[in-house]
Structure formats: C-alpha cells, structure tokens
Structure 1
Amino acid sequence: MKDLHDTARPWERPLLRSPFHPRMEALNRHSSWAPWSGWLSALDYGDTEMEVSAIRNTATLYDLSPMVKYRVAGPGAEAMLDRLTLRNVAKLKPGRVQYTGWCDDDGKLLDDGTLFRLGPEEFRLCCQERHLPWLLDSAIGFDVAVEEVTEEIAALSLQGPCSASVLRAAGFDIEALKPFQHDTQGGILISRTGFTGDLGYELWTGADAALPLWDRLMEAGAPWHLRPVGSTALDIARIEAGFIVAGTDFIPAEQALREDRVLSPLELGLGWMIDWEKGHFTGRRALAAEREGNTSRWALVGLEVEGNVAAEGAIVYRGKRREVGTVTSAIWSPTTKQSLALALVEAKHAASPDLWVEIYAMRELRYAKLMQRARPAPRPFFSPARRRATPPGAV
C-alpha cells in the first residue's frame, strides 16, 4: 500500500480529508474547496454573505482539523516552551491557553499560534505552518518529547453570539469558562478561543469521535440556525477582529526567499506579548537591540479606508505621492459598514494623518483607479462586549 505521507514524491500525495469531511461534503453545494496544510478545506458552502451574517448574528461551525497541532510533554516541557516562545510559559496554568509567537535567532517571526496547557508537564501547540524540525532542534537539551498530532485530533470552531446557547443545548457546562480557558467534558476539550473576535469556542476530540460531535452540535443548534462556514467568511471576520495570518500578513522567517521580507514581532504589533523579564528565549538579543535602538523598519497598522471598495493588494502612499507600504489584508466589512485594511507601512509614517491607498476597481470591464484616504485605526475594528462576558448571555 502506498504511503500517503511519503515526502519523496509529495506531488503524488492526495490532500487529506478531515474527519468531518462526510458531513461537510454533503453541505458544500458548489464543491468549493481549497488546500490547507495538505488537507482539503471548505472555502464556502454556497453563500458567503449568509455565512458572515451567521458569525455575527447566530452561530457557526468551522472545521479546524487541518490546523497543525503538536504535543509537547515531559518534565522539561515548560522550560523548553519558555525558551522557544515569546511569553512566559511558567505563568500559564493547567486549563489555560496563551496566544503566543516564536522567532528565529535574528528575532524574526516564524509563526504565531495558541499554546494549551493540558497538565503540569503536557502542552498542545496549534499553529498555521509546520515547524517540527524547528521544535525538535529547540528541544535538544530538555527532557521533553515533541510529536505532531494533527491527524489524531479533530477540531471544530463554534462561533457567534448564540454559540454558548448551542453548547448548553448540547449538554455542555460552559458557564464558568472564561476567555482563554479550557475544560474537558465527556472526552471533549472545550476552549473559549476562536478567530472571529466574537463570543466563541473550539471543541477538540479524537478523530474517531468527530462525526458524533458534529451531529450533536448541529442537532442542538437547529433552533439557532447553526450553519457551517468556510474560510472565506472566516477571513472577513478575522480582519474585522484585526487578527493576522501567516503567509498573508507576514512571511514566516524560514519561508522567506528575500532577506528584507522577514518581520519581527515588534513590527507586527506583537510586542505586547514579549516577556522581557523571564530570561533568555530564542531571538531575545536581536529583539532587545531592535527595541533599544528603535530600528523597526515596518509597522503593521489598521486602516479605515474611504469608500466602499476593498483595498486588497493596494499600495499605501503618504501625501498621494510617496510609496510607504502595502495593504496585506482588506475587506468591505458588512459588520462595521466600512472598508477595512491591515497594512505594512514604513514605521516612521505609520501614524501619519495623510495616508492614501491606490485601488484599482473593476467598473464595467475596465479598471478605475481610485486614490482613497486611509485613516490609521486601532485594532480590533470590531470587539463586542459578549466576547468577554462570563457567564455568556443566553440568546
């Protein structure tokens, strides 16, 4: 039997199917799929506008199974992860989750993700890109075992203002669960985490228990019109929340082909997560020099753009003349009714009140050049109070 994970001839390896694929395939009316880390992932289920509306008004399911997941366990797990990541892992107690990042020796970001503490000596690291060689190298000298467990764990993101009500109806007790906490009930790990900037949860279980979990949630969520959503709708929600994505808003340092394309956490607005007092971690010396010398070249900024056309891929100008950056992500936001963007701008111009974006909009088979004013705006663009309310309200 052919080994589907044979890396010698990766072009012959088919995309893996999620444990939830039988249910997703039946609902995906347009067979709208895309690859995600070697897996087949749904782009949409036939109506992106309704999917975005559901994220903000009812409840939605999104398949997280392709997310890369690592188990890090052993007496040295805490010390190894503290050496690897930017935040202080010793402060992460069992039952908690950290949003964190990690860098190379030059202080350039390799990836960001979530770190779950499952026990005193056991962690789960979830991220966008694959980093097993880097993690194994980082584990040298520590009493720790690192393994990828992506295929063993099925995961669903349940997001939206009605998500807590759906979980209650499905028989889960989530009243005391605060943001960035997790609890295990009936073999299912429930974390109050997500990528929409709204009230939401993520549910993690064994691959063999995936379909019963899907069916349980869909049945319980019927009164709230629970529906699956794809990556297109999720991308709109995450931009409204001001979240960044590897490969879109930054190039992971080990993937960059040009030396000037890599970025530091300070340039990406992640300086808040760096614990300077915890001791040495990979990239600390370079990051400290960048901070002390104020040498950051770029700054990731949120922009509110005039007009109703998304500024995707636009060039950012100062005073309509000088190029100072590029838009990395952009949407017309149906929630805030604004054109929103994330952009990498030269640090010295990041707060300028005279920023403009050059947009080329299709108008009856011809492109129209639009030079629209762009106002720097704090992120998140959208952050409802229900996101943090504990216990969450009943809807």
Structure 2
Amino acid sequence: MTHVQYLKPFLKETPFHAAIEPLMHGNGWVRWQGYYSPAFYDSEQSEYFATRHGASVYDVSPLIKYSITGKDAARFANFLVTRDLTKVKPMTAAYTAWCDDDGRMLEEGTIFRLGENEFLLNAALHQLHWLGDAAYGFDVKIEEVSETLAGLSLQGPNSRTILQAMGVKGIEALPHFGIMETQLDGRWLRIDRAGFTGDLGYEIWVKPQDALWLWETLFRAGTPHKIAPMGSLALDMVRIEAGFILVDVDYIGAKHAVRPTAAVSPFEAGIGWCVGLKKDSYFVGKRALAAEKERGSRHILIGIEIEGRKPAPGAFLYADKPGKVELGLTTSAMWSPHLKKNLAFAKVPPAYAKPGTEMWIEIWYGKEQKIERSMVKCWARNRMFFDPPRKKAMA
C-alpha cells in the first residue's frame, strides 16, 4: 500500500493569525505575499453585507511597506511618484502611481507623509530593487519595514463609532486620508482614514506584539455595532463597487509584463487624475506621460453597467450587436447586491469611454451543465459606482 503524506504549505502567519484561525470555519485560506490570508470565513455574502451595513475587519499586514527617510526624502518621493507631493502635508496620505521612464505603471497605492522627510510607501508587489535604482543620486534611506507593523482595515458605516467605543480620542476630527498617532491602554496606534472599500473606513497599525490585543479590543467594542471579519472575496466585491483597480487583475505591473505592450500608463488604467504633469519638478516617466497626454492613449479602463444579471468577467465588448467591431474586454466584474446592478471594468478605446456610451457585450456562462451565450447592451459609466458622502464626511 502506498502512503501519501500531504505537507502543509510553508506560509508565514501574520501577527493576527492566532485570532483569525479559529474563525475560519470554511478553511478558506489563500496565499498573499507568502502569508496565510483569509479568502472567506463563513461566506463572502455575509462579509460583504457586514461591510456595507455595519463594519468589517480585514488583515492588511501582508501589504509591503517601504520607509523612505533622509535629507532628500521629500525630493526623492516627489521624483518617484506621479502625484505632486509638495501639496501633501505631514500626517496625510495620498493615492498615487509610480512609473518607469516609458510612463508605464509599475504599481499604484498609497504613500504616507509622516514628516517633512519621512514617508511610507504601501505596495502590493516587491519594489525594493526598483526604488534603489530610482534613488541614485539622492541622499535617502529606503528599507522594507513590512514586518515591523501589523494592520487591520476597519471599514463600513459603523467604523468610526467602533473606534470611539474603543476609546480613540479625536477620531471624529480625522479627515479623509488623514493620519493620526495615539496611545490606547499604553499601546501605540497609527490610524489613517483610508481603505479599499469606497466607504467610511480606517486602517489601524500597531506593533506586531500588540496585534492580538488590537483584535480583541476592536471586536469587544464592535460587537454591538455589527462588526465581522472579512476575507478577500468580499473585499473584491466592495472594491469593484468603489472603482478601485487591482494589480495583476486590472493591469499588469511594467516589470512583470511578459509583453511590453501589456504594460499600461496611469491614463490607460483610468487614474490619469493622479498624474501631476503641472508639478514643477521632474518625476519618473513625466516626458512619456506628457507625450501620451498630447497624442492620446491606446485605451482606457472604465466602468460599465451591463444589461441583465449575468456577471461578465473576461467578456468581450463590441460596437455592434453582430460582434464584428471588437472594442476591448472586461477585467473585473460582479453583480452588485447593494446597488442591484451588473457592473464591470473594461478596457475600451478613448472614443467609447464617455459615460453613457452604448456598447454590446458577449457573456458566456454555465447553466445546468451547458455553456450559454448572451449578447446584451452595456453602457460606459464612471468607474466609482459606489461613493457615499460618509466616506469623506466629518462627524
């Protein structure tokens, strides 16, 4: 008789793992940057509704975090990213992209300005070698500090109320993309008002040794306010509603693209608004992006609303119903339970990107052990489908 031994994959555990593992009733683990990360606890649907109607908690510890300090840190950070960081004050975060010399996007994410010459860049992909190359000639120190911070993303309409119930003083005065540092029960906290859900929400950072204390304190305060843990499947649903793009799903980072033509610019990724072509200093890719702005982009990633209820991931778009004039394809797609709409992101020529433009989409789906085809109408939309006033409103 042959005996087969199945080995547990060698993945690291985040500082919150001991609190998360007992709640993983469906054993829905996935790999995220070498860590165990929950795809779902019980069901993505319940976690989705907790986010939209109560509050949810997602472990963001595997995010890759780079500290940028030194005499030239501010000058280098402004050289690195597309946003004009001279307009970003200390203890404020900004969403931005960073590109190669050809204006192709390596990635996008948030950068925290913690001081005049102290920054923290949050990334989903490893970027240390690129950052080191880009920093040539600058008096800066760049180091990965991912394992020095443990973080939870608290998102949803009740998130501020829960932080107040925890005893966090001054949270009601924190503006959108603001950062604060405080003490609670003798422990250091850094809180920024941001997230990946498009809702009112915060990211809470502590030292790894305080992670379990944070989890227990957060859930004790949040239990009366419909708090629930959330996995990546539900997070994917809410981020699509919010219009947030995801690397390796909606675009490929320039250093990871096998074909050069697969790399995209921020304009093509639909985040051209974060390209500061008017900022005084040069930034990586500025000349190429200015030229693209002048001549036009190959395509733009937009939001589309689709007729019917069949989600359309990887579906082709056409200018006509016979499907002879192909326009592009979808990247992310979902049926939105909250908005009651069939939504997707799609790459289309700029001429079709104007909101309201009508197109046709070909959807293939399984139905009772058969593959069905549906050709229905769709319309270009602002990709930010869900944008409630509470996201930016003050208390």
Relative to the length of structure 1, the TM-score reads 0.94
Mean Cα deviation higher: 319-328 or 52-61: 319-328
Cα distance in 2 for partners of 1:15, 1:343 equals 34
Deviation at 1:346, TM superposition (A): 2.3
What is residue 287 of structure 2 aligned with on the other side? 285
CA contact (8 A) 1:77 1:123 kept: yes
Residue 101 of structure 1 deviates from its aligned partner by 0.5
Q: Deviations over 1:330-365 (max 9, x none)?
A: 000011001100011122333483311111121111
- Deviations 1:276-321, CA, capped at 9 Å, x for gaps: 2222110011111111122x10111100001111111111111132
Structure 1 distance, partners of 2:247, 2:351, is 24
Corresponding position of 1:381:
385
> Pick from 365, 368, 374: which aligns with 2:372?
368
Alignment pair present for 1:223 and 2:224: yes
1:331 counterpart = 2:312 = no
The one-letter code matched in structure 2 to 1:390 is M
Q: Which residue matches 1:7? A: none
- Aligned partners of 2:345 and 2:383 also within 8 Å: no
Amino acid at match of 1:180: F
CA separation in 2, counterparts of 1:108 and 1:232? Answer: 28
Q: Percent identity?
A: 44
2:35 equivalent to 1:39: yes
CA positional deviation for 1:13: 8.4
Summarize the alignment of residues 94-173 of structure 1 with structure 2, pairs less than 5 Å apart: 94-173=90-169
2:211 corresponding residue in structure 1: 210
> Equivalent residue for 2:66?
70
Q: Are 1:358 and 2:362 counterparts? A: yes
User: Is structure 2 residue 175 aligned with structure 1 residue 178?
Assistant: yes
**Structure 1 counterpart of 2:346:** 343
CA contact (8 A) 1:301 1:350 kept: yes
In 2: Cα distance, 1:13 partner to 1:221 partner: 33
Task: Supply the distance in 1 between the matched residues of 2:326 and 2:29 (Cα, whole angstroms).
Answer: 36
Partner residue in 1 for 2:192: 191
1:8 matched residue in structure 2: none
SS of the residue aligned with 2:303? strand
The 1-side partners of 2:16 and 2:305 are apart by 37
Question: Aligned letter for 1:75?
Answer: K
Equivalent residue in structure 2 for 1:82, among 72, 78, 103: 78
For residues 97 and 353 of structure 1, what CA distance do their matches in structure 2 show?
A: 34
Matched residue, 1:61: 57
Unpaired runs of 5+ residues, structure 2, are 1-7
Which residue does 1:5 correspond to in 2? Answer: none
- C-alpha separation between the residues in 2 aligned to 1:367 and 1:103? 41
Question: Would the aligned equivalents of 2:320 and 2:360 in 1 still touch at CA under 8 Å?
Answer: yes
Aligned residue for 2:218, secondary structure, equals helix
Q: Which residue of 2 aligns with 1:201?
A: 202
Separation (CA, whole Å) in 2 of partners of 1:41 and 1:21: 9
Runs of 4+ in 1 over 2 A off after TM superposition: 346-354
**Rounded Cα–Cα distance in structure 2 between residues aligned with 1:302 and 1:370:** 20
- Could you tell me whether the CA contact under 8 Å between 1:297 and 1:346 is conserved in 2? yes
Instruction: Kindly provide the amino acid, as one letter, of the partner of residue 324 in structure 1.
Output: L
Q: Which residue of structure 1 lines up, in the alignment, with residue 3 of structure 2?
A: none
Q: Which amino acid aligns with 1:329?
A: S
Question: What is the letter of the counterpart of residue 25 of structure 1?
Answer: E
- Map Cα deviations across residues 116-135 of structure 1 (whole Å, 9 max, x no partner): 01112211100111100000
In structure 1, the residue matched to 2:5 is none
Counterpart-to-counterpart distance in 2, 1:307 and 1:153:
44
CA distance in 2, matches of 1:259, 1:88: 27
Backbone CA RMSD of aligned residues = 1.3
Q: Distance in 1 between matches of 2:353 and 2:163?
A: 42
3-state SS, counterpart of residue 339 of structure 1: strand
What is the one-letter code of the residue matched to 2:300? Answer: A
Partner SS, residue 175 of structure 1? helix
CA contact (8 A) 1:319 1:354 kept: no
Equivalent-residue separation in structure 1 for 2:339 and 2:234 (angstroms): 15
Q: Which amino acid aligns with 1:285?
A: R
Structure 1 gap segments, 5+ residues each: 1-11
Spell out, residue by residue over 1:70-123, the C-alpha distance to the aligned partner (whole angstroms, 9 max, x if none): 111111111111111001112211110000100001000100010101112211
